[in-house]
Amino acid sequence: MTRLVREAEPQETRRLTLLSLPLNWRLALLALLWLLEAFLQIPLFINPPNTSSPAPLINAFVWHWLLTFLPYLLACGLVLVSAPLPGRARYLELGLLLGGALVLRLMLLPISPVLSPDAWRYLWDARVTLLGYSPYVYAPGDPHFIHLRDFVFANSRYRNVPTLYPPGAQLFFLVSYLLAPSNLTVLKTIFVGCDWLACAALAWLLSRRGKDPARCVLYAWCPLPIVEFAIQGHVDAPAVLLTILTLLAAEATTRRGRAVTGFLLGMATLVRLYPALLLLAVARRRDWLLLLVWTATLVAGYLPYLILGHGQLLSPFESYAGNYTPNAGLPQQLSHWLALHTSLNPTALHWLEEGLIVAIMGGSALIVLWLRWRQRLSGEAASLWLFAALFAVSAHIFPWYTPVLIPLAALLLVPAGSRLTLGTLAALWAWYFACATPLAYFFMYERDWTPYYALVYWPPLAGLGLIVGGVGWQWLRRERIVRRFSS
């Protein structure tokens, strides 16, 4: 902690801030805002609905959830526009931020999942794995498991589809089941522990970057991960932690450091597949050891399930990726709109959709690689770019996918009063997108998702247009200067 405080003091304390507060006032206001957020959480655990409740009860729960964003956003604004606290006051502030984050999560931990039944499937996967069956081969509805059908089976969904969760996620399910069979609270406790460690790791990473570690409030007090991990119990919590730890380890230049980075990246990929994109953000030229350790970690994770399933593993992922849902990404939405309003045949629409996905992801990967090799893009900026591109083309974009964007936004935001950069604009729009995705729960029972896309997607797309325009303007300006001096 002493090192964390010392490292974070220099850069931002000397910069202009929009708000200059006495030390006790910043702490007092943060404490008051934490109390308000905790108070607004109380309705969430007073007679909460369940996943089968009617839409009005679900919507009321979501409205109460959205109210907790008000003190959270005020706390973030306070940290971003005021000067970092020096010395011992920073200990107190970090204690408030991290301790408050833990309490906010523990308050909601006893509540059963309200908006998604996915956590029950985690328990089922662990159960059948321990019985010697591969969850990638046998669906819960398989006749082999008739004698196992209990409350875990009853609360699970997609009972005729094998699991979609990678081996790293299965490891967390197994640990929980071995500690307490069929106990959802224990599983969620593990995820909450990972989520809180992600808050602490973010504070550490911010300090290593010379930024105010109090910016961890953007993630630590955010109602999105609090509800999605403490109540819903989604497995994305360990993925967020491992993503932050990978960025931390990526600073190392020693062989041991590169090996650790490869292992952490491999574990993150084994929990949720999307962190594999971090390879483009953290790998260096001729970084063979990192690549070797990453590959070995993936092989070690998948091999037991390949043996258990007699080689069958990828078919559930393929079927999942091809399904259209109203919360799909932009290429899928465009293809669906064209199918409804034009006479294009399905084959042409399919290839158009696939072409857009390849263009967006392939173009993003090439640009990130080029900028990284020229040392013109930070690891966190590259990660944000790649994750945003993936979410833009994903077949399914659920609110619990997006918390990983928030730590990256916290790392990229510049101090208040500094010159506004394109990276800051990108971070703001990513933060907005993540915090706006809970609006999707209002539309789960609706056929028309147009208002959702207008509120959640169009503002970031407009921001992306501004960013692209800004990059183009900077390039043209630089070219004019070069031509002027050359002539």
Instruction: State residue 1's pLDDT score.
Output: 41
Instruction: State how far the Cα of 378 lies from the Cα of 57, in Å rounded to an integer.
Output: 44
Instruction: State residue 487's pLDDT score.
Output: 63
Instruction: State how far the Cα of 209 lies from the Cα of 14, in Å rounded to an integer.
Output: 15
Going by C-alpha positions, the residue among 364, 112, 412 that lies closest to residue 247 is: 412
Q: Please list the alpha-helical segments (H only) found in 345-448.
A: 346-373, 379-393, 405-412, 422-436
Instruction: State how far the Cα of 106 lies from the Cα of 99, in Å rounded to an integer.
Output: 11
pTM here is 0.90
Task: Please name the residue that has the structure tokens 């390039």.
Answer: 475
Which tokens belong to 35?
């109390």
Amino acid at 205: L
Amino acid at 40: L
Going by C-alpha positions, the residue among 327, 319, 426 that lies closest to residue 383 is: 426
What Cα–Cα distance (Å) separates residue 303 from each residue in 147, 168, 291, 310? 28, 12, 18, 10
What Cα–Cα distance (Å) separates residue 419 from each residue in 15, 71, 424? 11, 27, 10
Instruction: State how far the Cα of 219 lies from the Cα of 196, in Å rounded to an integer.
Output: 10
Instruction: State how far the Cα of 275 lies from the Cα of 242, in Å rounded to an integer.
Output: 9
Intra-chain end-to-end CA distance of the chain, in Å: 56
Instruction: State how far the Cα of 452 lies from the Cα of 106, in Å rounded to an integer.
Output: 30
Element (H, E) at 9: none
Amino acid at 165: Y
What DSSP string describes 394-420?
A: -S---GGGGGGHHHHHHHHPPPTTSPP
Going by C-alpha positions, the residue among 77, 167, 53, 81 that lies closest to residue 431 is: 77
Contact 65, 41 (CB under 8 A): no
Amino acid at 39: F
Contact 210, 12 (CB under 8 A): yes
Instruction: State residue 454's pLDDT score.
Output: 83
Ranges of the chain with pLDDT below 50 = 1-10, 13-18
